């Protein structure tokens, strides 16, 4: 949690400085390139993260096989991104310089394959070493970025910094793995049988991850194609301020959810009552964040980004409310992992992604970047709440979420109508 707070404060400060230095147009171009790469990045992760950690907990004797196999799969996925991007950029209006930025940023996925070392530390409840590696990467990156700003570096230098960050993090993880555990990555073994088993189970997680990336980043890609890079810069500045709070539900749910799962061994009623309370906590925490930001958005954006980002304040007023559904989804997603309904989770997220694309196509031409923010807000609500109504087995979750916000008598009336 300390590392996340440090990343939020230092990362936000330096990120804002970079945005002010680059200006809306160049910052928008960098944000567009990152968003375009993110659309393909789920191929590099392959949905393996949580599954590998679980298997390491179950059988530590297979550590070298699991880590070696996961590393090999992630490295293959990272290499696969490059030819897929080469095809993807042909469908855009990008110039050569924009495509160069895209491929520089995409190359970072190769170093991100070493993140499998973090899986080992998570399985041993030693995440402090991952946090230390992230902190070292953050500090070095921040120092170099400030030096680049002071020396008036070109845009491409900041794209290279994304590659640099990934390399430093990989080096940090490698250092701690070698010196704190006396283990060697040269002992890792790739096993085809294990690879097939991991991929078979990670399929739905990968599909859900791909859909999540689509409806988190497709808006910036579509804004660039339908408007221009300056509009992307205005939108990205607001989105970064909005999304900086998203670490809060991850930390809270990670701490509280084990107790909620344990309640399942006592009774189903206790499990769902605690889950409903977690929903309520997430919703009202998000509202607690969104309310002051809504009223202070213009002032905050001008203070942090300067007068060049005048449109970002109005975007932030809308985009910040998507956090209500993001906070809720972090808690809600755990139910699918516990019950093994990852296929339903993937379907829900896919519905949200499709809704986001269609809403962007409809709203951006008429409302510009404000339409993109509205599309994000509506599509998040569809994915997290309204899509529950599609599946009979999920309607009790819809009832719980509705009950977490609305007084019980009104909920009863609405649910009786729906039934």
Task: Look at residue 276 in the predicted model and tell me its pLDDT.
Answer: 83
Q: Which residues contact 402 (CB under 8 A, 6 or more apart)?
A: 385, 411, 414, 415
For the segment 148-154, the average pLDDT, to the nearest whole number, is 90
Does residue 32 contact residue 163 with C-beta atoms inside 8 Å? no
| Residues above pLDDT 90, as percent of the chain | 5
Indicate if the pLDDT at residue 326 is higher than 60. yes
Integer CA distances (angstroms), 217 to 35, 169, 384, 399, in order: 5, 23, 17, 30
Indicate if the pLDDT at residue 29 is higher than 80. yes
Indicate if the pLDDT at residue 45 is higher than 70. no
Nearest to 155 by CA among 251, 290, 32: 32
What the block records as the tokens of 277 is 């309370």
What the block records as the tokens of 327 is 């906070």
Q: For 55-77, what is each residue's pLDDT tens digit? A: 776 667 777 788 888 888 888 87
Task: Look at residue 359 in the predicted model and tell me its pLDDT.
Answer: 92
Determine which of 266-280, 294-308, 330-344, 350-364 has the lowest per-residue pLDDT on average: 330-344
What the block records as the tokens of 320 is 């910040």
DSSP string, 34-53: HHHHHHHHHHHHTT-HHHHH
Indicate if the pLDDT at residue 120 is higher than 80. no
| Long-range interactions of 129-133: CB distance < 8 A, separation 24+ | 129/173, 129/176, 129/177, 129/180, 130/173, 131/2, 131/3, 132/3, 132/172, 132/176, 133/169, 133/172, 133/173, 133/175, 133/176
Q: For 170-226, what is each residue's pLDDT tens digit? A: 888 788 777 776 777 777 788 788 778 777 766 666 777 677 777 777 888 888 888
Indicate if the pLDDT at residue 33 is higher than 80. yes
Count the Cβ atoms, other than its own, within 10 Å of residue 341: 17
Q: How far apart are CA 100 and CA 78, in angstroms?
A: 17
pLDDT-derived band at 408 (thresholds 50, 70, 90) equals low
For residue 107, which phi and psi values (nearest 5 degrees)? Answer: -65, -20
Q: How far apart are CA 133 and CA 174, in angstroms?
A: 9
DSSP string, 336-381: HHHHT-HHHHHHHHHHHHHHHHHHHHHHHHHHHHHHHHHHHHHHHH
Q: How far apart are CA 204 and CA 210, in angstroms?
A: 10
Indicate if the pLDDT at residue 415 is higher than 60. no
What the block records as the tokens of 300 is 């905050």
Indicate if the pLDDT at residue 418 is higher than 50. no
Indicate if the pLDDT at residue 255 is higher than 80. no
Does residue 324 contact residue 287 with C-beta atoms inside 8 Å? yes
Integer CA distances (angstroms), 255 to 234, 248, 258, 284, in order: 35, 11, 7, 18
Task: Look at residue 374 in the predicted model and tell me its pLDDT.
Answer: 92
Q: How far apart are CA 272 and CA 55, in angstroms?
A: 27
pTM of the model: 0.76
């Amino acid at each position: 949690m300390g590392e996340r707070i440090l990343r939020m404060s230092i990362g936000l400060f330096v990120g804002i400085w970079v945005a002010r230095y680059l200006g809306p147009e160049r910052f928008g171009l960098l944000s567009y390139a990152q968003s375009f790469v993110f659309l393909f990045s789920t191929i590099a992760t392959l949905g393996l993260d949580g599954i590998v950690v679980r298997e390491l907990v179950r059988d530590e004797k297979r550590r070298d096989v699991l880590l070696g196999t996961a590393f090999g799969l992630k490295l293959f996925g990272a290499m696969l991104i490059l030819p897929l991007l080469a095809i993807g950029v042909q469908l855009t209006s990008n110039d050569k310089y924009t495509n160069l930025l895209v491929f520089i940023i995409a190359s970072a996925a190769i170093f991100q394959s070493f993140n499998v070392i973090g899986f080992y530390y998570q399985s041993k409840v030693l995440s402090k070493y991952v946090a230390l590696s992230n902190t070292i990467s953050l500090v070095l990156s921040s120092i170099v970025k400030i030096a680049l700003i002071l020396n008036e570096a070109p845009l491409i230098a900041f794209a290279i910094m994304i590659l640099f960050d990934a390399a430093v993090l990989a080096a940090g993880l490698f250092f701690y793995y070698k010196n704190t555990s006396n283990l060697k990555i040269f002992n890792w073994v790739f096993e085809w049988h294990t690879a097939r088993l991991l991929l078979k189970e990670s399929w739905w997680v990968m599909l859900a991850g791909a859909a999540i990336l689509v409806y988190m980043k497709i808006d910036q890609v579509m804004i660039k194609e339908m408007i221009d890079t300056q509009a992307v810069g205005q939108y990205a500045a607001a989105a970064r301020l909005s999304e900086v709070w998203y670490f809060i539900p991850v930390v809270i749910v990670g701490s509280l959810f084990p107790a909620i799962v344990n309640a399942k061994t006592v009774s189903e009623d206790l499990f769902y009552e605690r889950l409903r309370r977690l929903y309520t906590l997430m919703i009202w925490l998000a509202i607690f964040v969104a309310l002051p930001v809504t009223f202070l958005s213009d002032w905050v954006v001008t203070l942090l980004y300067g007068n060049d980002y005048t449109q970002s304040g109005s975007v932030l007023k809308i985009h910040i409310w998507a956090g209500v559904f993001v906070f809720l989804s972090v808690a809600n997603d755990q139910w699918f992992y516990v019950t093994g309904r990852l296929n339903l989770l993937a379907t829900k997220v896919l519905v949200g992604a499709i809704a986001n694309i269609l809403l962007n196509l409809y709203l951006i031409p008429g409302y510009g970047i404000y339409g993109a923010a509205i599309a994000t807000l509506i599509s998040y609500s569809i994915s997290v709440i309204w899509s529950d109504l599609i599946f009979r087995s999920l309607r009790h979750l819809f009832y719980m979420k509705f009950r977490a916000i609305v007084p019980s008598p009104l909920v009863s009336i609405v649910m009786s109508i729906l039934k």
